[in-house]
Amino acid sequence: MNVPKTGKPAWAETDVDEVIPVLDMGSYIAGMPGALEELAAELRYACENIGFFYVANHGVPQEKIDRAFAEGARFFDLPEEEKLELKLDKYNIGYLPYAQSMIKSSTVAENRKPNLNEAFFCKRELPADHPDILNGRPFHGPNYWPESLPSFREAMLDYQKSAEVLGQRLVKVYAVALDLPEDFFQEAFTDNQIIHRITHFPSQEAPEEGSFGSAPHTDSGFMTILARDEVPGLAIRRTNGEWFPAPSIPGTLLVNTGDMCTRWSNDRFLSTPHRVLNESGRARYSMPIFFDPNTDYVMECLPTCQGPDNPPKYKPLTYGAYLDWFFKMNYFHQQGDGEPPPKP
């Protein structure tokens, strides 16, 4: 389907607040003529009006997703003392115990209760003699792995590598959607930050008011690639303030833009609030890949997102500076609050 830059994709003829579109990446990945531009037009409309979209035919093998979830469930079933041997460190790598985060940075809700989940974080695997490890570069520490689950590491990294390929493909689509050359983000996403999290949400029976598996928030980075199991719980906020469930669609991954993309695009692309409340009676698992710029790259308002009547709303900022503030605000082990990066 040919989608003009200023037109609507076919799925947008319905109420835009009622639908999360499914974007088919098959033709683009196959290198079909015009496929990148067509996909970019659909992504543009989704990001300007919804902030979330599914991707189908995305190139990430389902068996890698399934294996990572299976290994993740095995990890969370380990004794607490064994998981605590891998407790989250200053680089935000390792195990986050249950109810040890609170989303105080949220601008969409006054969250004052801890998130009722536990999680494990890993990043791109670096050798022990890598300069970033030797020099203690922020947000670039070594990964930790449970000794009793030797297959856990392989499953996590195997999925992560496939998701990274998808992320690099999507970055080019974002560039064209923002009326930029497809390689515009190449420098920003070389040696970029990848935060790989797998999360366990125990079922909440009769939850207290204001208590969530993950409280209402927007994501901090550029783009989130989310794999989920079939257990419901994720809800997205409509532009009118109402919440609606985001169903799991077999064969797809769910993608959303985050605060850094919104800042970079001068509020052109949405960073949409979402939350998790698991009342299913079963354990729920999700696995986001936060696919973000190099932490040292300075992000200035994109040239296609500003003009005489639309001046830049945000000061230039590195993602590392924003990430430092975000972690200190939301994770108990980081300690301390802080002011968000200032507007002009």
- 188-221, pLDDT tens digit by residue? 999 999 999 999 999 988 667 778 889 899 998 9
10-333: what CATH class? mainly beta
CA–CA gap between residue 203 and residue 327 (Å, rounded): 26
Average pLDDT of the segment spanning 170-192: 97
Helices vs strands, H then E, count in the chain: 8, 14
Q: Dig out the tokens for 63 from the structure.
A: 């068996």
Cβ–Cβ under 8 Å, residues 115 and 104: no
Neighbour tally for 238: CB within 10 Å = 16
Q: What is the mean pLDDT of residues 48-64?
A: 97
Q: What is the pLDDT of residue 16?
A: 44
Q: Determine the Cα–Cα distance for residues 299 and 277; give it in Å rounded to an integer.
A: 34
**Cα 327 to chain centroid, rounded:** 15
List beta partners, residue 290: 195, 224
Q: What percent of the chain has pLDDT over 70?
A: 87
Across 180-185, average pLDDT: 98
Nearest-angstrom CA–CA distance, 23 and 29: 12
Under the banding of pLDDT at 50, 70 and 90, the label for residue 7 is very low
Strand partners, 87: 95
- 158's CB contacts (< 8 A; 6+ apart) are 64, 67, 68
Phi and psi (nearest 5°) for 64? -70, -40
**What is the predicted pLDDT for the residue at 342?**
43
Residue (of 133, 91, 94) closest to 334 by Cα position: 91
pLDDT of residue 111: 60
| 222 residue type, one letter | F
Phi, psi of 101 (to 5 degrees): -140, 150
Is the Cβ–Cβ distance between 290 and 197 less than 8 Å?
Answer: yes
What's the rounded mean pLDDT across residues 132-144? 92
Secondary structure element (H or E) that encloses residue 26, with its range: helix 26-29
Which DSSP category does 17 fall into? G
3-state secondary structure of 10: helix
User: What per-residue confidence (pLDDT) applies to 327?
Assistant: 73
Q: What per-residue confidence (pLDDT) applies to 134?
A: 93
**What are 234-271's pLDDT values in tens digits?**
999 987 888 999 999 999 999 999 999 999 999 999 99
Query: How far is it, in rounded angstroms, from Cα 308 to Cα 188?
Result: 26
Mean pLDDT for 114-121 is 93
